[in-house]
Structure 1
Amino acid sequence: MYKKDPTIRPLKQGDKAFLLKWLTTEEVLAFYEGRDRQFTEALIQEKFYADTEEDRWIGEVGGVPIAYLQSYQLTVGDKRTYGYSVYQPVYGMDLFIGEVTYWNKGFGSAFIHLLIARIREKDAAAIVTVDPRVKNVRAIACYKKCGFSIVGKVEKREWHEGSYHDVYIMETKETNGIVT
């Protein structure tokens, strides 16, 4: 496929141009944030660089940035909404491949495994969750391929392109590439 393995690295200020390019691409916005969202440099700064509660990453292949990833501890409110004990260590994660020519080539699952490994470095006992829209069949298939299973559904959870959409709560108990 490609000569270089996928890697992830922390997001840097110099990555703003990639984020702006990706988040003004209609194909990407159809799945992430919505085509009705108008991203600007100021909004990129606010959304991706101001909040320090999330770990943010850039996914690369052969040194070429192609994806954005983030992970974060779920809030007490989100834990309750998703059905977890407020005392459990639960992380959420999100990602998108911004370079459309890299879609459907296995990079999404590679980046997911890399991000889970980073989360496990922080807390080996954590549950890792994702919450794709129910209609995002491709993302759900990718997460299942990576060992996630659907454990719940939250109705009208995510605002996307003018209305609220249902999401699945998916979790994995993967540890070092092994699903337990």
Structure 2
Amino acid sequence: MTGKDRANRQIYIEKDGIALLYAEPSDRRFIYEMAFEEPEIWQSMLAKKDDFDWSELRDEEDHFFGSVPGKSKYLLIQYRGEIIGTISHTYNNGRIENLELDLWLRSEKYAGRGIGSAVITMLIDRLVEEYGIRTFIVRPWLKNARAVRAYEKCGFRRRKDFAPAEYYGRYLEQYGEGDYGRQETVNMVLEVDQ
């Protein structure tokens, strides 16, 4: 995807050379395929390719896509005119109201440069401002130590006492155990001060 494609997309946030663009319904396949462009990327998130199936994005709820603002969205990360990854936020209506974030970069060449941390920080700032939600969760794979460190740099803390029923409402049955199961999911929480 080139800078020319940006003309057809609405910017959600833009700061310091990074833009978050609303993902459109037609981007579902593109987002899925980005995860598998480099073995180092998918192997940091998955034990095997089959652990992330096309149906997960194909069948995602429609409100996650398009330029209508909302608490649950997929966004494309654009850096210096190139789409380099995706970040999504999902509203969870548990007792502790929260937004769950999920991010991946499509190439190793963008990792370790602070781009992911900058994206997370600017997105959280915007979501707090727009929705007043102050609790954010991420649930990476235990084997993805680089992601865990990056989330810690953004202020997320591991929670051994993480109780899924407190954070998830309607998604509890589907996501309560985490993508990697109880033993291999790192439960991390960020609570933004008032």
TM-score normalized by structure 2? 0.67
Matched to 1:167, the amino acid is T
**Residue 99 (structure 2) pairs with residue 99 (structure 1):** no
Deviation at 1:143, TM superposition (A): 0.8
Asked if structure 2 preserves the Cα contact closer than 8 Å seen for 1:5 and 1:62, the reply is yes
Query: Structure 2: where are the runs of 5+ without partners?
Result: 1-15, 65-70, 163-175
Is residue 28–residue 98 contact of structure 1 (8 Å, CA) maintained in 2? yes
Structure that is richer in helix per residue: 2
CA displacement at 1:14 relative to structure 2: 4.6
1:60 and 1:74 map into 2 onto residues whose CA distance is 26
User: Once the two structures are superposed, what CA deviation does each residue of 1:85-133 show, in whole Å capped at 9, x if it has no partner?
Assistant: x1x3222111111133211111110111122123213332421111122
1:157 corresponds to 2:177 = yes
Equivalent position of 1:24 in the other structure:
36
Say how many residue pairs are matched.
Answer: 159
- Tell me: CA distance 1:172–1:24, structure 2 relative to 1, closer, same or farther (3 Å): same
Return closer, same or farther for 1:122/1:10 CA change in 2, 3 Å cut-off.
Answer: same
Match of 2:81 in 1: 63
Q: For the structure 1 residues 5 and 74, does the alpha-carbon distance in structure 2 shift closer, same or farther, using more than 3 Å as the test?
A: same
1:15-37, CA deviations, whole angstroms, 9 ceiling, x for partnerless residues? 34532431323222213355332
> How big is each residue's C-alpha offset from its partner over 1:136-170, in whole Å with a ceiling of 9 and x where there is no partner?
2111110111111112266x93455xx87422221
Distance 2:21 2:188 in 1: 25
Question: How many Å separate the matches in 1 of 2:78 and 2:187?
Answer: 27
Aligned to 1:28, the other structure's residue is in SS state helix
Aligned counterpart, 2:167: none
Percent of residue pairs identical: 18
Superposition pairs of residues 129-140 of structure 1, within 5 angstroms: 129-140=137-148
Task: Name the CA shift for 1:149/1:71 in 2 (closer, same or farther; >3 Å).
Answer: same
Residues 66 and 89 (structure 1 numbering): CA distance in 2 closer, same or farther, change over 3 Å? same
Which SS does the other structure have where 2:155 is aligned?
coil
Which sits farther off after the overlay, 114-123 or 102-111? 114-123
The question of whether the paired residues in 1 share the 8 Å contact of 2:63 and 2:73 is answered with no
Which of residues 155, 170, 175 is equivalent to 2:188?
170
Partner of 1:113, secondary structure, is helix
Give the structure-1-normalised TM-score: 0.71
CA distance in 2, matches of 1:159, 1:148: 18
Paired with 1:50 and 1:119, the residues of 2 have a C-alpha distance of 20
CA distance, structure 2, for counterparts of residue 133 and residue 43 of structure 1: 18
Aligned-partner Cα distance in 1 for 2:81–2:183: 36
